[in-house]
Amino acid sequence: MSVLISNDANLDTLLSEDEVCAIAAHVLAAEGVERDVEISLSYVDEDEMHDLNRQWRDIDRTTDVLSFECDSAFDEDIPVDEVLELGDIILAPEVIARQAPGFGNDPADECRLMFVHGLLHLLGYDHIEDDEAEEMEAREDALLRELAVQRGDDPSKVEVGPITNHAHD
């Protein structure tokens, strides 16, 4: 597995590169991904995220995370010796840091949540319908608690927040 990280605006990424790679490895293993995959992670400023959200989702405001799936980690038609391009995750650390207190998180915890959220999207999870949102949120919660234990943090302090449903966007 490789994570290609881009931070052209030299933003505070809220997480170290090592932690990003550890999170990705944990989520992929927990979700049963056994293939070699490549993930692209870009950190962008708030204005660029606003532009991307408008361009790709037709929503004229900023957001915290966007995900764009490429290859499916479970596509049996792609040769097993070929590295899969799982997809792109875009994070807006300024937005994440600003919204974190409202969700009971510090910026790093909120960034962990947004990165896990983006990874789950790349693995086929969605939250358009309430039942999908509940499933995705439960998976985020479980993964973030496991990651907290790995870091030596108290897993009971993990806050995922409300159901992330796009029906009201």
Write out pLDDT tens, residues 121-150.
999 999 888 888 889 999 999 999 999 999
CA 144-147-149 angle, to 5 degrees, is 115
Looking at residue 164, what is its pLDDT?
62
DSSP state of 83: P
Per-residue pLDDT tens for 108-120? 999 999 999 999 9
Q: Which of 44, 42, 37 lies closest to 118 in space, CA to CA?
A: 42
Percent pLDDT > 90 in the chain is 76
What domains lie within the chain, and their CATH numbers? 2-160 (3.40.390.30)
- Binding residue ranges: 117, 121, 127
33 has pLDDT over 60: yes
- Binding residue ranges for Zn(2+): 117, 121, 127
Looking at residue 27, what is its pLDDT?
98
Can you read off the two tokens belonging to residue 92? Answer: 């807006």
Average pLDDT on 4-26 reads 97
Looking at residue 133, what is its pLDDT?
87
* R_g over Cα of the chain: 15
167 has pLDDT over 60: no
* Whole-number Cα distances in Å, 68 to 51, 81, 86, 119, 150: 15, 23, 9, 10, 28
Looking at residue 99, what is its pLDDT?
93
Q: Which of 106, 114, 101, 116 lies closest to 147 in space, CA to CA?
A: 116
81 has pLDDT over 90: no
* Mean pLDDT of the chain, nearest integer: 92
